Structure formats: structure tokens, C-alpha cells
Chains A and B, each alone.
Chain A
Amino acid sequence: MTPFDLVEPASLEEAIALIDPDDPDVRAIAGGTALMLMMKAGVFSPKRLVSLRRIGDSFSKISTTTAGDLVVGAMTPLSAIENSPEVLRHAPVIARTMTRLSNVRVRNVATVGGALAHADPHMDLPPVLIALGASVTIVGPSGERGMAVEQLLTGYYETALAKNELITRVHIPALGATRAAYFKVTTGSADDWPALGVAVALDMVGSSVKSARIVVSAATTKATRMFAAEKALIGKSANDATLKTVADAAVGEAEILADVRGSASYKRELLRVYAARAVRAAIEARGGAHQ
């Protein structure tokens, strides 16, 4: 890696002030797992990194509001959400997603904020958070704003964040009777990045689906909601015929890309299978979300 300066501010305001929005060579560093890969590969050579590690506890806590929303600080390591009793109770699908995200060492260091801001389409957390209707709090020089995770991710490694805006918290709304599931589909070794991710969250009335969010990732340029597939599911009971139309709709609308993990035509077939499986798994998830 080429030499750079590292500053470790003690407050959020200071951190934001240290990031020059017009200088692409100055960036925030949280766990550093994604940035280190980029710096080692030579695709990013910063002049200065602004470490978020000393900013303090409020930034790395997991809590529940009185309304039952789960609030996760952006500097929370992924291993903390994997092992948090609150996350397990509130949104077990998140804790379960963690167990197959990369490995123990990366999860000990990588943060929730980094997993969102990096915007690599292969990441496992964004599709799950979008399916659960999560949002983030963002702080910049002119104050605070909120934004749905769905709006945060705008493209391939692209977000709606200004260079000097930081994510401070993630809010996951109280799930009530919502059931959710996420499938990470790998085509190489089991510990690989996903070739395809499918997240589903839905509410049922009796045996029919009242509302649903279906999100596809990894095979697309960003985690993307499948609106046509959702429409095909809502108001129906999830029998084989419905699931086939849901899967076909997802395959029709998802813009699937080829890479070393598989051709686009193969990933479309994976989506056809896993869209249906994920819906079924969500419906079968008891007392919240499993899978």
C-alpha cells in the first residue's frame, strides 16, 4: 500500500470536518476490511484516511426503541449483530445472514456502516435490510437526515451519500408478524461471495400474502427490489402456481450480470429456483424470521 496519513478524530463533527468533499483521496475508514482490499489492489491510494474508531459508544451500540424498532450504530462490528440477543429476538434473519457472511475474522472487524456504504452489490446485509424496510441516519456538515436503505444504494459501488456524509445508525422497524428469509447462493466454494442473493419479507393474512418485499442482489448491479414479483405474490396464497409466476416475474425484471461465479443465463435459472424457495422459507419462518 502507498503511504497515507491517518487521523483519528474523537467526535463525529470533527470527522466530518476532516473529510474534504472535493478530494476523492480523503475517505472515512471504519473496520478497513473493504478499503484495505482496495488499497492493496492499488485501486484506491488515499492521501488521508479519517478513522471512525474513536468516535465512541453511541456510534456502536445496539438498542431497541419503545416502539420496538431496532437501532444499530454504524460502527457496530458484524460479529456483534450476529451474537446480539436483541437482534436475535427482533430480526433473527439478520443474525442468521451473518453466520455465512465472509468469516469470523472479517466479521470481527467489518462494520455495519461499511457494509452499507461500500455498496458492493455482492454484500449480504443490504438486501436483507431493504426487505425489512430498514433506513439509515446520515450526518453531514448541514445536519442529520434519514433515508431508506433502498434509496441509499444507487448503483454499482455507488450510494446517495455525499463524500462528507457519514452513516451513524441503522433503524430496523418493529417487525411484528413479518416473516423473512434470505438465501445466499454460492456457486464456488461454500465460503465464497454469493453468486445470487434473494431476500424476502412478507406479512400474511390467513393463508394469503398481504404485503411482500422481494430483493435480489449479487447478480445485479445493486440490491434491487423486484416489484413485478411482489405484485404477483400480494393477495395470493403461495401455492406452486403462484410461486411460479412470482419466480418468472423476478427473472423477467432482474437485470442479471455474468461474472466468474456464473453466466447470466445460469444465474437467471438460479433466481427462478431461489425466488420461490425464499418466499416459501419466509412463509414457513415461525415467530419472525428464520433461514
Chain B
Amino acid sequence: MSTAARTINFTLNGRPVTADVKPHHNVVEFLQSQFALFGARESCGQGLCGCCTVLVDGKPVSGCLYLAVFLDGAEVVTVENLAEPGKLDLIQDAFIECGAFQCGYCTPGFIMMSRALLVQHPDPDDQQIRDYLTGNLCRCAAYPEIVNAVKMAARKSKAGSTGRS
């Protein structure tokens, strides 16, 4: 029986990586401590707020409730990967244009969820957006603006825009 670290291989933001991970570490702790990725952050720690959202094999999961060892062999995408440094992808751009945040704490989570939503439903209606984002909390209650931002991103994506440089 061993609580020692083991080595896992996975793809992180498009790059194959190898890392040592302890069985009891969750994805947020792991990405922060070993890869200096702080976009996924822990708030509720209970799967309820979405601040820790990362995409694992294309699906959004709560990093706070996901064992890091389970990333072995997976493809992981974090908010840092949406656009090159200094640029914004079109969802980020739409959030700014619509004023879809106040303090911004919840924003990376909402943006990652919106990205997964737009893959599944490229042209979502209000109900689909709300149903998909119901597990993300915004204490500033920017929800109406967030819904607008997702719709704007969907429109821009249809029109072929990729974001602001």
C-alpha cells in the first residue's frame, strides 16, 4: 500500500506532459502547484460554483472534485489555453463587451462552461444557456449579462470571427 506519488502522462493545453502526482491531490491543487496554472481556482470546493472548471477530454468537470491521478491519459484544457497571451478568444471578448462580470472571480469558470456549451449547442437559446450554466455561481449576479455574452459569442462564431487580437 502506498500513498506515494505516481507518474502520469496527459496532454495539457495541447502539449504532452508527464508529472508526479499524489493520489489524494485534486486537479486544482495539481495544476496550481505543478504547472502554475491559476485560472481554475477553488471557491466552494463542492462542485457547486464552477470556479474550478477545466475540460477533460472535451467535457467540463469540477477540478475541485476530480482526483488528479484520473487525468492519466486524458486531454486537459484550462482557461489559459483559450487564446495566445495578449489575445482574447471570442467568448472572452463577448464577456467584456456585454459587461458579463463585476468582480471577475467566477469568470474563468463561466467562460470554460460557455465554451463547452457552444460546442454542444452552437446556437443556444436562453433556456439552454441557463440550464447549462446552472452549476456556476456569480455572487455579483451578472447572470443576465452572461446570457447575453454567450449569445453574442454564438453569433460571432457563426459569422466566422475568432476573437480580438
Contacts and interface: CB of A to CB of B under 8 A. Distances in A.
Given A49-B23, A109-B61, A40 B45 contact: yes
Contacts of A40: 45-46
Nearest to B25: A1
Interface in A1-15: 1-6
Interface in B24-74: 24, 26, 45-48, 50, 53, 59-62, 64-67, 69-70
A79 interface: yes
B22 interface: yes
Interface of A: 1-6, 29, 32-33, 36-37, 39-40, 47-49, 51, 53, 79, 99, 102-106, 108-109, 190-191
Q: How large is the interface on B (under 10, 10 to 19, 20 to 34, 35 or more residues)?
A: 20 to 34
Nearest to A53: B70
B86 to A, nearest CB: 29
Contact of A3 (B24, B53, B113): B24
A6 B22 CA distance: 9
B60 to A, nearest CB: 5
B135 A191 contact: yes
B3 interface: yes
A106 B3 contact: no
Nearest to A77: B59
B131 interface: yes
B24 A106 contact: no
28 contacts: A3-B3, A3-B22, A3-B24, A5-B1, A5-B2, A5-B3, A5-B23, A6-B23, A6-B67, A32-B67, A32-B70, A36-B67, A39-B24, A40-B45, A48-B1, A51-B70, A53-B70, A79-B59, A99-B131, A102-B135, A103-B47, A104-B116, A104-B132, A106-B65, A106-B135, A109-B61, A109-B62, A191-B135
B60 A104 contact: yes
Given A104-B60, A106-B135, A37 B46 contact: yes
Contacts of A49: 23
Nearest to B63: A105
Nearest to B57: A108
A75 to B, nearest CB: 13
Pairs A-B, 3 closest by C-beta atoms:
A103-B135, A6-B23, A3-B3
Contact of A105 (B22, B62, B70, B131): B62
A48 B50 CA distance: 28
Given A3-B3, A37-B65, A105 B47 contact: yes
Contacts of B47: 33, 37, 102-103, 105-106
Most chain A CB within a 10 A radius of its CB, from B22, B26, B60, B62: B62
B161 interface: no
Contacts of B18: none
Contacts of B131: 99
Nearest to A106: B47
Interface string B71-104: 0000000000000000000000000000000000
Contacts of B134: 103, 190-191
Given A37-B46, A37-B65, A47-B1, A104 B113 contact: yes
B67 A109 contact: no
A37 B113 CA distance: 22
Given A105-B47, A105-B53, A109-B61, 9 more contacts: A2-B24, A6-B23, A6-B69, A29-B67, A32-B66, A104-B116, A104-B135, A108-B59, A191-B134
Contacts of A39: 24
Nearest to A79: B59
B123 to A, nearest CB: 18
Contacts of B1: 5, 47-48
B61 A108 contact: yes
Contacts of A5: 1-3, 23
Contacts of B113: 104-105
Contacts of A106: 47, 62, 65, 135
Contacts of B132: 104
Most chain B CB within a 10 A radius of its CB, from A3, A32, A47, A103: A103
Contacts of B59: 79, 108
Contacts of B67: 6, 29, 32, 36
